[in-house]
Amino acid sequence: MASALSAPPITIEQYLTFESPDGYRDELINGRIIVSPEAKPLHSDVAENLYELLKAACNKKLHKVGQRMNLPFPDVDSVPSPDVYVIDLAEWQRARSEEVYPDGSKALLAVEVISPSNRTGPLSEKLAIYVQHGIEAWVVDPKKQEMNVHRRGGPLDSASLRLKSVLQWNGKAVPLSAIFQMS
């Protein structure tokens, strides 16, 4: 019986030459390129709500809030692209002036919005990368209207987050109900 062959891991430099087909996005996770379809409207609305809520909760003199940016982690051959992120403003300004991607380890928060195309393996690997680098990670499920928060020491219970009306981030309240409001 023939066994399945897997491609050897690639480097970030090799990945940066890759181009996804139209209508797809890609990320490098532990040396493997992960390709998935672009987001659908529900996913996009929830990501935009999170972006707006985090912009309101952050100090504009210290943080940059953004959406879908490659964040390289060279030590693990990974370049995830979280749906929403918060990064140190000084690192953002450095990357902008050098015209490079910001150092992923300088992110403070990475938010992944669940889509039907998300596969458990790559999502778990991305969460492990974030937490390993001391980055808080939120996994938001629009259909269940719940969220898991991952930090060093393990995830917070999603059931408690469904019951709470607010989550504290950066010393400010982020109202959970606003994440799932559709206009």
Q: Name which residue leads in pLDDT, 165 or 28.
A: 28
Task: Please tell me the total count of domains within the chain.
Answer: 1
pLDDT at 119: 65
CA 182 to the chain's CA centroid: 21
Q: Which residues pair with 87 in a beta bridge?
A: 64, 107
Return the residue matching tokens 């992120």. 85
**18 in a domain, yes or no?**
no
**20 in a domain, yes or no?**
no
pLDDT at 87: 97
pTM above 0.75, yes or no: yes
**8 in a domain, yes or no?**
no
**4 in a domain, yes or no?**
no
Q: What pLDDT, in 10s, does the model give residues 82-138?
A: 999 999 999 999 999 999 999 999 999 999 999 876 667 889 999 999 999 999 999
User: How many C-beta neighbours within 10 Å does residue 153 have?
Assistant: 7
CATH code: domain of residue 98: 3.90.1570.10
Phi, psi of 59 (to 5 degrees): -85, 115
Is pLDDT at 19 greater than 90 in this prediction? yes
Is pLDDT at 155 greater than 70 in this prediction? no
Q: Sorting pLDDT into bands at 50, 70 and 90, what band is 4? A: low
Return the residue matching tokens 């940016």. 69
pLDDT at 175: 81
**80 in a domain, yes or no?**
yes
What is the distance in angstroms between the CA of the first residue and the CA of the last residue of the chain? 54
Q: Sorting pLDDT into bands at 50, 70 and 90, what band is 170? A: confident
Domain region containing 138: 39-179
Please check whether residue 103 is in contact with residue 90, taking contact to mean a CB–CB distance below 8 angstroms.
Answer: no
Q: Sorting pLDDT into bands at 50, 70 and 90, what band is 177? A: confident
